[in-house]
Amino acid sequence: MSDSAVATSASPVAAPPAPVEKKVAAKKANGSAATKARSRLHHHRTPPTQQMVDASIKNLKERGGSSLLAIKKYITATYKCDAQKLAPFIKKYVKSAVVNGKLIQTKGKGASGSFKLSASAKKDPKPKVASVDKKVQKQEGNR
């Protein structure tokens, strides 16, 4: 009797590992695809801080200049990223842009206060089409 009891108890124990292994393999296969999809969704590329700050000041169109808080709110709403994590980069860019003359600080000191785009920064940079045309003409002339 003990031999039949061992045989019946051994068969249920031996049967479950095969389906469990298949389930684990299926989960691993699905998990890697899901991880890739998640990484594509959550790690979208945001533009550089310079572009985000300049666009926010330009689009807010505040007469007295845009405050740092308003710039952060605009970046959070528009680019779907956490402006609190970008805060040090925004402050660093604002300070350097004021020194370089790209931004004008209307109120405050340092990175606090209100900021406007300078007259030279308001002009959109023109694409360098002329240099590309010259290169094409030189290549055609050399042939």
Question: What pLDDT digit, counting tens, does each position of 92-126 carry?
Answer: 999 999 999 999 999 999 889 999 999 876 765 55
CB within 8 A of 120, min separation 6: which ones? Answer: 101, 102
pLDDT of residue 12: 54
Is the pLDDT confidence value at 13 over 60? Answer: no
How high is the pLDDT of residue 89?
A: 95
Tell me the C-alpha distance between 39 and 35, whole Å: 6
Q: What per-residue confidence (pLDDT) applies to 87?
A: 94
So what's the pLDDT on residue 6? 53
CB 112 within 8 A of CB 68: yes
| pLDDT at residue 1 tops 60 | no
More confident residue, 86 or 16: 86
33-88 pLDDT tens trace = 555 555 555 556 889 999 999 999 999 999 999 999 999 999 999 998 998 999 99
β-bridge partners, 114: 67, 107
Q: Alpha-carbon distance 111 to 72, whole Å?
A: 12
- H/E element, 109: none
The answer to whether the CB of 118 falls within 8 A of the CB of 75 is no
What pLDDT, on the 0 to 100 scale, is given for residue 111? 87
Q: What is the mean pLDDT of residues 2-26?
A: 56
* pLDDT for 11 beyond 70: no
Considering only residues 133 and 93, tell me which one the structure prediction assigns the higher pLDDT. 93
Q: Is the dihedral of CA 56, 115, 103, 49 positive or negative?
A: negative
